[in-house]
Amino acid sequence: MVFEEIYEVYWQKIFRLCMGYVNNSEWAQDIAQETFIIVWQQLPKFRNESSVGTWIFRIASNNCLRQIEREKRFTKADLPGNLEEKKQESMESEIQLLYKFISELPETDRIIISLELEELKQAEIASIVGLSESNVRVKIHRIKEKLTQKFREHGTY
């Protein structure tokens, strides 16, 4: 797979993963771009020991964690005030709210649920985060329960 194809296939997924970490569009875009710079630099060294997707998600998640530690500027964004104007705005607000709730989770939970939302197989998620597949399955269930509870508390579910 050439870099351009990889970029086309994974850009949006990596961007959403980064959003799950930092809940800030500009910062997530910067981290995603830096991730693809690393992918481009390291692509000749890729040994096909895992799928390209697993490899890129691992780079992205490590990059997100490094950026958060380096910057120490992790802040939770405020929600837009007008949640009920239009359906599209409402949907966008719910997505923003989901990113906000994900950003409040512990780091490992953030990466797991972000990868689950990208529809990665649980075996692949387990490989990326270094947990057993059964542990990942249990964690996903618990994370979904936490997020559902947060939506209920917010009155949107």
- What is the signed CA dihedral for 69, 45, 129, 38, rounded to 10 degrees? 30
- Per-residue pLDDT, 11: 93
pLDDT per residue as tens digits for the range 2-27: 889 999 999 999 998 888 888 888 88
Query: What angle (nearest 5°) sits at the alpha carbon of residue 19, between those of residues 151 and 107?
Result: 75
Q: What is the pLDDT of residues 121-139, one digit of tens each?
A: 899 999 888 899 999 999 9
Element (H, E) at 21: helix 3-22
Domain positions in the chain:
3-154
- Using CB atoms within 10 A of its CB, is residue 72 exposed (0-12), middle (13-18) or buried (19+)? exposed
Average pLDDT, the chain: 81
Cα 155 to Cα 157: distance, rounded to the nearest angstrom: 6
Q: What is the mean pLDDT of residues 17-45?
A: 88
- Contact of 34 with 21, CB cutoff 8 Å: no
Q: Note the pTM of the prediction, 2 decimals.
A: 0.58
Of the candidates 4, 82, 78, which has an alpha carbon nearest to the alpha carbon of residue 40? Answer: 4
Report the distance separating Cα 125 and Cα 117, nearest Å: 11
Burial class of residue 50, CB neighbours in 10 A (0-12, 13-18, 19+): middle
Q: Would you state the pLDDT for residue 154?
A: 82
Q: Is the pLDDT of residue 88 over 90?
A: no
Q: Is the dihedral of CA 93, 98, 102, 104 positive or negative?
A: positive
